[in-house]
Each structure stands twice: as C-alpha cells, then as structure tokens.
Amino acid sequence: MRITIIGTSSGLASVSRNQSAILVEVSDLVCLLDAGEGTTRAMLSQSLDPNAVSSIVITHTHQDHCGGLAGLIQYMQLTGRTNPLSIFLPQESVETFQKYLDAVYLSSHKLSFPYSLTGWESGAVINAADCTAELHLTHHLDSVRTLAEVAGLGVRSAAAVIRAEGKLVVYSSDVQSVSDLDDTPRQADLLILECTHIGLDEIMEAVSEWRAKQVLLTHVPMELEGMVSTLKDMAAKWGIPDIQFASDGTSVVV
C-alpha cells in the first residue's frame, strides 16, 4: 500500500503547500481521501494521474477538503475518461453537491464517464477484497452546528481507517481534539495526523500512548513552518521514534 500526501496546508491558502488530499494505492484500487482546492493541479505537478483514481472519499465539506472535486471531474471529462468514479460524501451533502455539479455542467449523464454520489453516515465506505476504508465520526464541525441547522446542512465529519495488505493506516482529517480519535485503532503502521486544530504538546502526549510505527503531521499551519528541530526535540523527549511534518508529495510504502 502506497500513501501519497498530495496537499498538506491548513485551511489558509499557501504558496508552498496545496490543500488537503491523500492518495491511497492498493493493487488496482486507487482512492483519494479529500480533494481540496487545486487537487488536480497538485496531482499533475507530482506526476500523479487523476484518471487513475477510482473512488473519492470526502471526510467533511470544508472547502479545503472538497473544493477541488468539480475541477477533478472536469479534468477527467476533458481527458476522455470512460471508467466509472465513485464519490462518497457526508449523507446530508449529496443533494447539495449534485445540484452544484449540475449547475457547472458536470451532470453525470452528460459526461464521457459515469460517476455516483453516495452518502456516508459512518462505518465502511469501501469494502473491497484487498482494501477496506472505514469512517469514524468526529466533532470537528460542532462549532458550526447552529449555522448548519439554520442553513439546513449537517455537521458530519470523520476520520478514516484504511486496512490493506495486512497494514493499518489512520487519517485523522480535521478534529476538535485528539479525543475524537478515541475509537480508532491504536498501533497503526502509519498515523496521518492534522496539526492545525490540536497543539504539538497534545499530539506528543497522544502519539506516545498510541505507539504508531510512523507519524506524519499534515494540515500544517504557517506558524509551524520552520519548526522541524522543535518537533525533533519534542519527539525525543516523549520517546517517539518516527514523526515528521509531511510535505506536499510525501510518499511512503506501508
């Protein structure tokens, strides 16, 4: 299983980091976790083929995690894709996204390939013979619950747990606190953890208990840029052997 972190920025646009997107490659299955603004261009700049993607899982509908979805579909259309595409969204967002895609002339029946929008609530979204992807609900969007209710929207957000080839990968997506990950498995082969909404001290305490074999920090805010040596010092203090800030294009075989 190969994991490529396509975009590592926080929600604030940056010239040095693309917005959130992670590519999971397992045999013939190629899954994109989130598709923030500019994901298509980011993939092309990293020599990744957007048309190789067979499924897209959106963990929540902040634009830095889903703002590149329409651009990806348009690229696929303009390059003559014919293979079907499965897109998984929070259940309450499916109708809204379909109306948006229709409004920008990307209705599935008008394209060279079919796509499906499937709503998720929690649990398994991909259940293939060689790979499973499960979503675990988090509290990331709780702060906008009132606004969402007024607008008729939901507040569903999730972390993702990927199992393939005997390996385990946990992707936090965005969280309210590390306690949002209490029901995700420990001792992951790879833990991809955001560091915008939770501080480094909180991260170190949690990671030292979880004992993941490798930890990559993503969703990196500007104030943490240039703090590589600080991270190394903190990791040594907590006895964490392998933790680093991910960069756009960071790719690991798990």
CB 22, CB 38: distance < 8 Å: no
* Cα 213 from Cα 191, distance rounded (Å): 8
Q: Whole-angstrom Cα distance, residue 137 to residue 156? A: 7
Name the residue among 82, 84, 73 with its Cα closest to residue 50: 73
Concerning whether 64 is annotated as a catalytic residue, the answer is yes
Catalytic residue among 34, 49, 64, 189: 64
- Please state, in angstroms and rounded to a whole number, the distance separating the CA atoms of residues 232 and 46: 27
Residue 58 near residue 22, CB atoms below 8 Å:
no
Distances in Å between the alpha carbon of 167 and those of 1, 136, 181, 184?
Answer: 8, 18, 18, 14
Please list the active-site residues: 64
